[in-house]
Structure 1
Amino acid sequence: MNRPEKKYCKESKVVKTSRVFPLDTNNHNTLFGGKLMSYIDDIASISAARHSRCGTVTASMDSVDFLEPIGQEDSVCLESYVTWVGRTSMEVFVKVIKEHLLTGERKLAATSFLTFVALDKDGNPQPVPQVVPETEEEIMLHQTAKQRAEERKSHRKHSKALAEALAVDKPW
């Protein structure tokens, strides 16, 4: 399959809006963090697939920064797009906006960065097109992505060292 050398961030943009129902909430009557994380991974995976036009797998999810609680009177709108790419990996940014359905007030509720790896039909990492930012937000995120990638690499190294030190063969 012929892949373009470059794609614009907007080509991978995905927007998803959901209502917050009682079954989506915790004991504080706010959206479960795990439910929001599931929404984030879902929408980010679509952005990664749109950019690469192949199978993808979530390689990492940076910390989700919960900035505002999302209540039952709110809708939750997620926006995602690819901000930066390596050779076979893609960084996807997800912005979560809550909107009070009665007043129309909108606030940034959460942000997250995820990394996906593009896979060929045999499950091997596959090169992806470069990404071209256009808007002020896209340019800022693109310019700061290398630092986040280095932090991820360092974190992964520490995680692997920790995994080697942890026992997994002992019963509870």
Structure 2
Amino acid sequence: MEKRTCTHSLAVKTSYVLPPDTNTYGTLFGGKLMAYMDDVAAIAASRHARMPVVTASTDSVDFLAPVKEGHSICVEAFVTWTHNTSMEVFVKAVTEDLRTGQRQVCSTAFLTFVAIDEEGKPKPVPSVVPESEHEQKLHASAADRAKHRKERRKQAKEFAEIFGTDYPWNRSRN
């Protein structure tokens, strides 16, 4: 399978931050930003794999700066690492005051996607060739992030088993 560079998968989306996208403080809803990030990351993963993908996980998303109404939000994503059928995608969101040109990174995250076939079964993906110093740094530290994701997923499954599908107030009635 042919290897691909990080820039091969680069996806970028820029949008205005409009009133329906904001909370009572006049800043972008965190969930809206997360949806933008997932959307652009999925495009990057699909571009890398050249097949359909599904989101497997999102690492913590930290909101580093507010994204104000009337500003723009630019989300960039590219595949940093692969493992058999999965791809790690780095996502960076930058807000810009369009009147002054001031730009600020407002969020970063890593998302993991799995390539799937027509039956929804995982499919192998090409490996990544990091070129720039930043790409190489992300690629070199990806195995550690994957290990932490695996541990976090195990814990999430344990919580799901413990808490089940009932709401706490329904348990006493059973």
TM-score range, shorter chain: over 0.9
Q: Provide, for residues 78-104 of structure 1, a one-character-per-residue CA deviation record: whole Å limited to 9, x for no partner.
A: 100000000000001110011110110
- Deviation of 1:120 after TM superposition, in Å, equals 1.2
TM-score (norm 2): 0.94
- Once residues 166 and 159 of structure 2 are traced to their aligned partners in structure 1, the CA distance between those partners, rounded to angstroms, is 15
- The structure 2 residue matched to 1:113, chosen from 110, 114, 124, is 110
- Which residue does 2:61 correspond to in 1? 64
Question: Matched residue of 2:121: which SS?
Answer: coil
Residues 54, 120 of structure 1: 8 Å contact kept:
yes
Deviations 1:60-116 (A, max 9, x none): 011111100000131000100000000000001110011110110111110011000
Aligned position for 1:22: 19
Q: CA deviation at 1:40?
A: 0.5
Q: Distance in 1 between the 2:164 and 2:125 partners?
A: 37
**Is residue 13 from structure 1 mapped to residue 10 from structure 2 by the alignment?**
yes
User: Could you tell me which residue of structure 1 aligns to residue 121 of structure 2?
Assistant: 124
Structure 2 Cα separation of the partners of residues 66 and 93 of structure 1: 15
Cα shift at 1:169: 4.1
The answer as to 2:168 corresponding to 1:168 is no
Alignment TM-score, normalising by the size of structure 1: 0.95
> Partner of 2:33 in structure 1?
36
The percent of aligned pairs where both chains have the same amino acid is 54
The count of aligned residue pairs is 169
RMSD value, Cα: 1.1
CA distance in 1, matches of 2:115, 2:164: 31
Partner of 1:139: 136
- Aligned equivalent of 1:95, options 92, 95, 102: 92
Q: Which 4+ residue blocks in structure 1 deviate beyond 3 angstroms? A: 169-172
Query: Residue in 2 aligned with 1:52?
Result: 49
Which structure 2 residue ranges, 5 or more long, are not aligned?
Answer: none
SS of 2:96's partner is: strand
**CA contact 1:73–1:102 (8 Å) conserved in 2:** no
- In structure 2, what residue type is equivalent to 1:134? E
Q: Does 1:84 align with 2:65?
A: no
Partners of 2:78 and 2:122 in 1: CA distance: 20
